[in-house]
Homo-oligomer: A and B are copies of this chain.
Amino acid sequence: MSNDPLVVFTPSGKRGNFPAGTPILTAARQLGVDLDSVCGGRGICSKCQITPSYGEFSKHGVTAKEGALSEWNSVEQRYKDKRGLIDGRRLGCQATVQGDIVIDVPPESQVHRQVVRKAASARAMIMDPAVRSYYVEVAEPDMHTPTGDLERLGIALKEQWDIEDITAGMSVLRKLQPVLRKGKWTCTVVLHKGHQETVHRILDIYPGFDETRLYGLAIDLGSTTIAAHLTDLRNGAVVASSGIMNPQIRFGEDLMSRVSYVMMNPGGDIEMTNAVRTALNALTDTLSAEAEIQPSQIMEAVFVCNPVMHHLLLGIDPVELGQAPFALATSKSLSLHVGDLDLTSMNPAARVFILPCIAGHVGADAAAVALSEAPYDQDELTLVVDVGTNAEILLGNKTQVLACSSPTGPAFEGAQISSGQRAAPGAIERIEIDPTTKEPRFQVIGSDIWSNDEGFDAAIATTGVTGICGSGIIEAVAEMRMAGLLDPKGLIGSPEQTGTPRCIPDGRTHSYVIHDGTADGGPLITVTQGDIRAIQLAKSALYAGARLLMDEMGTDTVERVVLAGAFGAHISPKHAMVLGMIPDVPLDKVTSAGNAAGTGARMALCSVDARTSIEKTVRDITKVETAIEPKFQEHFVNANAIPHATDPFSILRSIAPLPDVSFNTGGGEDGGRRRRRRG
């Protein structure tokens, strides 16, 4: 083992020993860590900003002491003095290794930032935004009939636009007088009036006729990712979209582990609230820069999120959501000021609208999906599944709509999977396995070329093949089942049972090799028995939730399935059905809604009418609580098989091969293990 200091990079986990004095940027490049630089290490571009972490990191086996990085040199200090650096940040090209250290690469310092595939759909929306601007000519003050400037502005709005009842916050009152005089008693005012508000609130005021466009942010605040669409409030056009990881992940990957974190760590809710608000401010800045607008042009933000994210965004301790009866602090929609949430990047008077929550486990994100997919407008009995770390499930038609949520965990998003990774360039997203040869071929994000086609190596030269993303793992497991490599119980066969050397022994179980990059120093990408179990748990929870709603509805079948959510658009319906994620319906009845929650957020951003509509919908929805339904457990167990232990899936069987194999020898993997323990 080297005596040189150890450098561990997060989030990649890449690590290596480097001689003291090695710049962090150099170390990152040598390890293949994704750290940006434009100026070539001259301390000018600041793209290589990193955050060193000090303390004991048992997870990484590192203790980082003070002095593990070099002192600030003149280049770095000058940059900080002139341009500023976020507290705790260093320039990777200037700071050098002096001792063992953990280095976090923030998202904005990564070249290949995550492509969160929550792209906003192009769904047409009737524009009816809460925020509009108006040009007005205001009467000059008259000593003989003295009135305030605000009052004369109010009279002008009434006379010229028939708008009554205006109010203004301090940020507007402070600039009102100079603006009116600069504009020679003409101005453009930005007004806000939500669906439940009785007055028009002046958010901003510009001198004269001002064509500054107004923007809004539609934000889908997920447990794992935060997706935001910067939207032109004139026409609803999305001018920039961006997704970042929810920084709360470091407190726990799924909702319940975050709630636990709060229970175990007093003040943990405040930490998480601060983390997500800081991230939202950074995201606002990023989107504004991308669209080349000023953040102060952003006048409203609309949030959809699950209940735990909802409470943590608002700064409310989510502990009640972690235990029956799962009571929300508030379930109604909320109209707030950005200051209430410390969202400091937008216009200082900007407003926040948060969609209502349906129940303690069914949040504003499900409400947004309901708004977007409108099951209450359907003739066919429609199942809407929003697949994320937590799945939101809606079932209904014009007669009735039911809703529940189910704790699928993050496996569908590539987490808890041995070769799993975020949906980023280099990740395997599509897989096919030849049922005869048992050989796989795949595509990675960033290229449309299959791995067995010409030009693949060239196409992926810059990214490499780095892992499997969420939609990739679903296809992989389903293809393995169709190719006879996996039996209905979820056991991977041995090389002998499957006839392929790609099924390799892995402890007492087997793994299937999808890609072996080790010859070139790359990873060995396999699907392990553990991966299969993780996917089985996730899909069983999803199916059991849907089945529970079908019970409540008194039906064994649905007529239509809509896949929504972070990667809904990327799931192949056939593969999802082979896996038994969703009920058995004709393939052409399975459609993708893209990021329906995000779409719902955009609809609410662009239309106060949509806000009224969703309030009514949420009131009318029948809420089903999976956690207390005894049948949920039974449905969950039956859904563990692939595709299902008891439901026939006859439509699926007519179109996809589901070989009747069984690899359970001598009591099977689980049984065998259990016996050995007892012996």
Q: A-side interface residues toward B, CB under 8 Å?
A: 140-151, 168-170, 173-174, 176-178, 198, 314-317, 319-320, 324-332, 336, 339-340, 357-360, 623, 625, 627-628
Contact = CB atoms under 8 A, between A and B. Distances in A.
Given A148-B331, A150-B332, A331-B146, A174 B317 contact: yes
Contact of A314 (B173, B331, B625): B173
A147 to B, nearest CB: 6
Contacts of A145: 623
B326 A146 contact: yes
Contacts of A174: 314-317
10 contacts: A141-B326, A143-B625, A148-B327, A150-B332, A151-B331, A168-B330, A170-B315, A177-B316, A177-B329, A198-B198
Chain A interface helix/strand/loop/mixed: loop
A628 B143 contact: yes
A141 B327 contact: yes
A-B pairs with the 3 shortest C-beta distances? A148-B331, A141-B327, A146-B359
Nearest to A152: B327
Nearest to A335: B167
A142 B325 contact: yes
Contact of A330 (B149, B336, B359): B149
Contacts of A336: 170
A515 to B, nearest CB: 46
Given A144-B623, A148-B330, 14 more contacts: A143-B627, A144-B625, A145-B623, A146-B327, A148-B329, A148-B332, A149-B328, A150-B329, A151-B332, A168-B330, A170-B340, A173-B314, A177-B317, A177-B320
Contacts of A628: 143
B150 A325 contact: no
Nearest to A359: B146
Copies in the complex: 2
A314 B146 contact: no
A326 B316 CA distance: 46
B330 A146 contact: no
Q: With a 10 A CB-CB cut-off, give which of A140, A141, A143, A151 has the most chain B CB atoms.
A: A143
Contacts of A147: 328, 331
Contacts of A360: 141, 143, 146
A98 to B, nearest CB: 32
A328 B141 CA distance: 9
Contacts of A198: 198
Contacts of A339: 339
Q: With a 10 A CB-CB cut-off, give which of A141, A170, A320, A329 has the most chain B CB atoms.
A: A329
A334 to B, nearest CB: 9
Contacts of A170: 314-315, 336, 340
Contacts of A316: 173-174, 176-177
A319 B178 CA distance: 10
A634 B222 CA distance: 74
A625 B145 CA distance: 9
A46 B254 CA distance: 50
B143 A325 contact: yes
A340 to B, nearest CB: 5
Contact of A329 (B146, B173, B330): B173
A495 B143 CA distance: 50
A340 B336 CA distance: 14
Given A143-B360, A316-B174, A340 B169 contact: yes
Contacts of A314: 170, 173-174
A509 to B, nearest CB: 39
Contacts of A319: 177
A174 B269 CA distance: 11
Contacts of A340: 169-170
A140 B327 CA distance: 9
Contacts of A625: 143-144, 146
Contacts of A143: 324-326, 359-360, 625, 627-628
Nearest to A339: B339
A177 B327 contact: yes
A147 B621 CA distance: 12
Contacts of A168: 330
A198 B360 CA distance: 29
A78 to B, nearest CB: 26
Contacts of A623: 144-146
A17 to B, nearest CB: 43
A119 B623 CA distance: 60
B357 A148 contact: yes
A311 to B, nearest CB: 9
A146 B328 contact: yes
A146 B170 CA distance: 38
B330 A150 contact: yes
Nearest to A357: B148
Q: With a 10 A CB-CB cut-off, give which of A150, A174, A359, A623 has the most chain B CB atoms.
A: A174
Nearest to A141: B327
